[in-house]
A = this chain, B = another copy of it.
Amino acid sequence: MIMPVETDIRTKIIDAARKLVARYGYGKTTMADLAEACGMSPGNLYRYFPGKLDIAEQLAQQAFDEELTALREVVRKQDLSATEKLKVFFCTQLHVTHDKLNEDSKIFEIAEIIKRERPELSNENLKRLRALLTEILASGNASGEFNIPDVVSAAEMIQCATMKYHYPQLFTKLPLNELERELRGVIGLILQGISAGETSRTNAKAVARG
């Protein structure tokens, strides 16, 4: 079977799929619908993608890439301290996710399916986010803001601690501002620690003020 890695027909299919999915949802868009939108027969789609799930995977990956790009911008910002970067990083993530949930909630149907059917991909993406997080931590070490012996492990733990704000299924009930309040609190907690001492006392006061 011939399966070109990248071709304008493939992107045409993906673009059509995005529109259809946005309107009707993944479950309701059939391969026949998609083929018709592309001006071809259903069977011909299989010359460009192994199956429907692989089309969904492309859509999910593109959506995630957008998120990743937004977060990379935060990490690269020159005029932010590492502390500020960390806050902005997670708040951006929350907002991007939340916006996508409202604007086209259909993409989450896909996200859930991919998380279930292609878990490796989700884990891969989590790893990429963690890499950005690690960058922030390392830059904080370099600037003297942080003193983290193992930034890789620290990044993993921060990701665990903020997992609640990364999976929409977990927070659908709470309003965005409440979520953000919690998230800021958690980040604050991480930034300050709770152990007694000169530095953490200072940060603790800052967090207590809001």
Contacts and interface: CB of A to CB of B under 8 A. Distances in A.
A177 interface: no
Contacts of A83: 195
A195 B194 CA distance: 11
A195 to B, nearest CB: 5
A190 B160 CA distance: 12
A86 to B, nearest CB: 9
A116 to B, nearest CB: 11
Copies of this chain held together in the complex: 2
A154 B195 CA distance: 12
A195 B145 contact: yes
- Give the bracket for the number of chain A residues in contact with chain B: 35 or more
Given A147-B201, A156-B185, A186-B157, A195 B192 contact: yes
A166 B11 CA distance: 42
Contact of A194 (B193, B204, B205): B193
A200 B164 contact: no
Given A149-B208, A156-B185, A193-B199, 7 more contacts: A119-B173, A145-B195, A147-B196, A150-B208, A157-B185, A189-B190, A190-B190
User: Closest 3 A-B residue pairs measured CB to CB?
Assistant: A193-B193, A197-B199, A161-B161
